[in-house]
Amino acid sequence: MSTTVDPSQEARTRLRVSHGRLRTASKDLESLLATEPVKGRWDAGSVPTEVLDAAREELGDAYARLTACHVDLLGEPGGGGGAAPRAAGPIEVLEKGRVLSFSFADLMLYHGPGSPGGVAHAFKVMERAFPLLEQDGRLERREIAVTTAFGGPGARDGFEMVTRAVTGERYVIDMGLARPERGRALERFVFRVDYRRRSVTLAIREGFVTDEFIGLARKERTPEEEALLDRLKLEMADRVMSSPAGEVYEATLTD
């Protein structure tokens, strides 16, 4: 059955402002790096580092704020309307029996604009793993342990906000989990989530992490490459968050 969305005028204004901010931030960064040099007016190599850093930070923050605005005003993706299936959120855990709820926007605001792709991966891992470890998907957050071969800060902060595993020393980077036989792009996107006497291991499926992204992420980068990597992070976050968790990660459960 189809449904409709009819935001209030205030909601429409907030959405328009948020979308406009993201467009402006993207154009500002493009003007610094992608505009063709004009003799006597524009030198493509003269962008001060502090200006470039500020533009990159504004782009990431604009993306995070727009995501938060969408969730606040329209709810989590997946509400219907005949569109392709999307992530069902939020993620719910328990704190001494009390239900705590976290949306992707919450995780982004906690982490900041730096690594939206990593935050998205953490969200999907938890969305996929938690219902396999407990029937209703609600785990006691301080009994969850995470081990992974992926060392990105976005994933780390995503898990930390929901599970407090980093501060509780239940978050471990273990390169022994890597699967080099799957190729450079996929090898480190492996996560094991332990809860009480059960464990589930998740591995990324093909199509969500690109070779271009990995190549840039693991090298010394020029300012232009840094800006490209920022764009690839946002694109990866969109791919991951617009897909059901089961399509992003395959899972193997161990009792």
Q: What is the pLDDT of residue 23?
A: 75
Fold observed for domain 1-255:
60s Ribosomal Protein L30; Chain: A; (3.30.1330)
* Residue at token pair 């609600």: 138
What are the 10-residue block averages of pLDDT along the chain, 255 residues in total?
Answer: 56 67 70 59 60 64 64 49 47 94 94 94 97 91 97 96 97 97 96 96 96 93 92 94 95 87
Q: Distance between CA atoms of 36 and 31, rounded to whole angstroms? A: 9
Q: What is the pLDDT of residue 85?
A: 36
Residue 96: which residues within 8 A CB-CB, separation 6 or more?
140
Q: What is the pLDDT of residue 67?
A: 63
Q: Where are the domains of the chain?
A: 1-255
Q: What is the pLDDT of residue 82?
A: 33
Q: What is the pLDDT of residue 146?
A: 98
**Gyration radius of the chain over CA positions:** 20
Q: Where are the beta strands (DSSP E) in the chain?
A: 91-95, 98-102, 139-140, 144-148, 171-173, 190-195, 198-204, 249-254
Whether residue 244 has a cis bond before it, omega within 30° of 0: no
User: Is 220 strand, coil or helix?
Assistant: coil
Q: What is the pLDDT of residue 136?
A: 84
Burial of 157 (0-12, 13-18, 19+ CB in 10 A): buried
